[in-house]
Structures are given as structure tokens and as C-alpha cells.
Amino acid sequence: MRIAFIGQKGMFLTRGGGGIEKHVAELAPRLVERGHNVTVYARKKYCDPCPGVLDGVVLRYTPTVYRMNFEAIVHTATATFDVLFRKVDVIHYHGVGPSLLSWIPKLLRPHVTIVSTFHARDQFHQKWNFFGRLALRVGEWMTCHVPDATIVVSHTLQIVARDQYKSEAILIPNGAEIVTHRKQTALRDFGLSKNEYILNVGRILPVKGLHHLIKAFRRTKTDKKLALVGDAPDDPGYLDELKSLAKGDPRILFLGRMHGEPLNQLFTHAYLFVQPSESEGLPLVVLEAMSNGTAVLVSDIPGNLEAIHRAGFTFENMNVDDLTDQLNNLLKHPELVDHARHDVKKIINKHFNWDTIADQTLDVYRSVRH
């Protein structure tokens, strides 16, 4: 099959990527390995260099307007109009925002199969104004009704699709690969030591809840450090706010965006990974931490609970006092953390295998292909 992905920023980006980009970077090459031709539409702002082919996947760059409320939808529009003139069998939209335009190929290319993946309820992210939230709500409806098939990455989103939009969406979760990284070179580069830091990784946005984590961590009496990995291309003002919150506490480190071997080393050797997000679909970064054998402490939102399968620790969402209590308890009882490390990889092996996810995605394509 000839498959086109639309909605992501690209693959293996040098800046600004999130869960959708990681999902596409894992899924697309596996579809190529299975004998299919895959094109991923991408944006040049987020890669340097910007290759034409990566891991067998064709990367096609179309223009956009780099303004927060317009970038994604304009890029989706230019990618959609480009793909109308390409020989493709499947157009796969990723995210409810991009799926707003899935009706265009549905109308103009009726013999092409349209699939959308519902990754998260973006309308609840604080960065959107009223009109942005309204558009994303319409995007949810479109995701559930326009495509030939709708995929959701979590059981929670499957319930949303069924109960709110009367759509029988297909559950295919995000995934992770079991890895072991014994080297510690990246740790030394940042003045870190094995088991002597708490880790958070991800895009720096208000919805990720890092302000809660910093406030809670500052109340702890530990000598361990807090390593924050990620960048803030969409909201640099929030990064400044976080640095102001952390001012005067030398234990809190902002390490910037990282990927590949250095990032995996940080995952593997962290004492604890903390995910304080206020809203998620099925958070890939939590699965990545677990795949590296790292114990996780997460906010008790449905997406996080679904990811950890009771193999991690939780605190009440947006409750700094409870997060502080949980941190202090886990810092005081390393035996609890050690026990969780043994459980998390079992969960990944059983529920979140990327090869299985690729096969399930192809099954969806075949089941609705025109």
C-alpha cells in the first residue's frame, strides 16, 4: 500500500517534537519494513538537516505559517492539497486538529481510504483560546465521523468516541521498546549520578504541569537533583516562568531538548520519573520511562493510569501538597522504587509493543480499504 501521514511535524526532530511525532517515527518505518510505501508530511522548521528519506520513509515538506494558532492547520491544508495529486491508497491523519480537513480527500478522492488517530483531547490544553477550543471540539467530531476508520490510543478516548460521538473507534495504544543503557557518559556531561536525580522529559507547556513539580520538589529535603529535559518552542514565556520558580535552588536543572542515546541514559539511571501532566491521551514519555526500567510517579489522570497499569505511583492531579507527600515518601523508601522498576518492563512487554501496533494498524487499513 501507498500510505501518507498528515498532522505531525516530522520524524526524529531536532526541536519541538511531541508524542505524535514519536508515534509516527516508530510506526512509519515499521510499515516500510512490512513492504509498504510511506510518506510523512513534515515542516522544515523542526529539522536540521531535513532529509528527503529517513529509515525508508519519504519525507515531504510543505509550507506553513509559523504562528501558534495557525501553524498546524495551515500545514495540514498544504499537505492535504499536495496529497490530492499523489498516488496513495491510504491517507492517515494524526490528531484531532489535522482531522478537521479529512473531509477534503474524502470528498475529492473517494477511492482513497481515510484513517484518523485520536491521540489526545487537545481542546483542554490551556494554550487555546475560545475559537481554538471550538475548532478542536469540531475536530474531535470529524475524527470520529469523517474517516473510514478512527483509531484511539487509549481506552479513555475510546469511551469518549463511543459516548460523546457515537463512534466505534478502534483501540491501538502507543508503544515503547525495552532498552538497557549501561553507559553513563550523558550523566557526567550534566553533573548527574546514577539514582541521584529525578527526571521529567517532554515539551515545556503549561498543560504538562511542570510548575506543580517544581513547587513540590522545592519542598523536599533531598540532595537529589531534578532534571528537566525539553524545550518550549511554542511557549517560551512559560519556560521563563519555570526558571523563575526554580531560582535559588541549584538542585533544579534545565537540560534542554535531548534525544537518542543521551536521553535513554538519563531515563535508565534516574531514581524516579515524574509526569505531572494535567491532560494526556496515552503519554508516550511515560511508556518510554517504563521501557527503560524507570519507576514512575504520575498525576492520576485517566491516560496516565492506563499507561502504568498499577505498576507505578500516583498523586492527585494539580495537587502540589499530594505530589510533595508522594515525592517525600518515595525518597524515604527506595525499596518501593526498586520494586516498581521490576514491574514496569513487564507492562511494556505485555501491552505496548510497537511491532504489534504496526500489524494492528495495517489490519485497520485492510479492513476499510476501498
Q: Cβ(229)–Cβ(253) under 8 Å?
A: no
- Give phi and psi for 45, each to the nearest 5: -60, -25
Distances (CA, A) of 175 to 140, 172, 231, 352, 365: 22, 9, 23, 4, 19
pLDDT of residue 233: 76
Q: Cα torsion at 284, 286, 291, 295 (round to 10°)?
A: 180
- Listing from the earlier edge strand, what are the strands of the sheet with 170-171? 53-54, 57-61, 37-42, 2-6, 90-94, 113-118, 149-152, 170-171
185-351: CATH, from 3.90.1150.10, 3.90.1280.10, 3.40.50.2000, 3.40.50.970? 3.40.50.2000
2-175+353-368 shares its CATH topology with 185-351: yes
Q: What is the pLDDT along the chain (370 residues), one digit of tens a residue?
A: 999 999 999 998 767 678 899 999 999 999 999 999 999 999 999 998 899 999 999 999 999 999 878 999 999 999 999 999 999 999 999 999 999 999 999 999 999 999 999 998 876 666 667 787 888 899 999 999 999 999 999 999 999 999 999 999 999 999 998 877 678 998 999 999 999 999 999 989 999 999 999 999 999 999 999 999 998 877 789 999 999 999 999 999 999 999 888 998 999 999 999 999 998 988 999 999 999 999 999 999 999 999 998 899 999 999 999 999 999 999 999 999 999 998 998 899 889 999 999 999 999 999 999 7
Strands 197-201 and 225-229, by their bridges, are: parallel
Residue 258 has which C-alpha cell? 535531548
Q: For residues 313 and 207, give the distance between their C-alpha atoms in angstroms, rounded to a whole number.
A: 20
For the chain, the structural domain boundaries read: 2-175+353-368, 185-351
Helix (H, G, I), strand (E, B) or coil at 331: helix
pLDDT of residue 124: 65
Closest CA to 101 of 7, 204, 38, 31: 7
pLDDT of residue 13: 77
Q: For residues 256 and 201, give the distance between their C-alpha atoms in angstroms, rounded to a whole number.
A: 9
Q: Provide the b/e sequence for 75-113 (b: ≥16 CB within 10 Å).
A: bbbbbbebbeeeebbbbbbbbbbbbbbbebbbeebeebb
Q: How many residues does the chain have?
A: 370
pLDDT of residue 304: 95
Q: For residues 193 and 200, give the distance between their C-alpha atoms in angstroms, rounded to a whole number.
A: 16
Report the top-level CATH class of 2-175+353-368: alpha beta
Where helices occur in the chain by DSSP H, the ranges are: 19-33, 71-83, 103-108, 130-145, 155-165, 185-189, 210-218, 236-246, 260-269, 284-291, 302-308, 320-332, 334-351, 354-368
pLDDT of residue 350: 87
Which residues have CB under 8 Å from 99's CB, separation 6+?
7, 93, 116, 118, 139, 142, 143, 146, 147
Rg (CA), the chain: 20
pLDDT of residue 123: 65
Kindly tell me the sign of the dihedral angle through the C-alpha atoms of 250, 251, 252, 253. Answer: positive
